[in-house]
Structure 1
Amino acid sequence: MKKLTLLFWLGCLALAPAAFAAPVNINTADAQTIADSLKGIGLKKAEAIVKYRTEKGPFKAVEELTNVNGIGEKTIEKNKADIQLSGTPAAPAAPAGKKAP
């Protein structure tokens, strides 16, 4: 029984990093990275963020995301800790079978 309990907790620890989103720079990240990093943001909304940024310029405040169709204050509040406007962005995920840059 002790071994089973130990294996359970080791499995939980091994999967824990996948449960946490990485901070993402919404001014430089691609749509897939934004979708993978933020809760409640799928690929379509992430593409809308990139389109808005391309047309209007970089975001100066996180609250500007409410100008993007489909993104409201609740979504921003859920992700505020993971949204960056400057600094190093989260690296895009490497395709299967390839090394990340």
Structure 2
Amino acid sequence: MIRIARNLCAALALMPVLAWAGPVDLNTADAATLARELKGIGPARAEAIIAWREANGPFRAPEDIVLVQGIGERVLEDNRDNIIVSAPEKPE
């Protein structure tokens, strides 16, 4: 029991380090970042976001995340303040 309490205290001490890192750019984030930073997005959904981006081009608005199969309005609402989209790069 003491070991469990000690591990719990150690985990709680790390919480500020593990806190939200800031807005996630749907057009540049890798799958690991998407899964780590967005609520309701695990590895499979993160890979689906990347696949959608590769097949359809850059996202134009945060709301476009619902175009990815398996991601609905709830995920959008849970993450609305944490999602951004960068302007697509223009070819030279």
AA aligned to 1:32 is A
Deviation at 1:52, TM superposition (A): 0.3
Q: What residue identity is the alignment partner of 1:38?
A: L
C-alpha RMSD over aligned residues: 2.0
Whole-Å Cα distance in 1 between the matches of residues 83 and 63 of structure 2?
A: 11
Q: Which has the higher helix share?
A: 2
Deviations 1:72-94 (A, max 9, x none): 0110010011111028xxxxxxx
Deviations 1:42-90 (A, max 9, x none): 0100000000000100000111111111100110010011111028xxx
Alignment of 1:52-71 (within 5 A): 52-71=52-71
Q: Is the 1:21–1:37 contact (alpha carbons within 8 Å) kept by the matching residues of 2?
A: yes
Deviation at 1:15, TM superposition (A): 2.3
- Structure 1 CA distance for aligned equivalents of residues 12 and 70 of structure 2: 34
Q: How many residues align?
A: 77
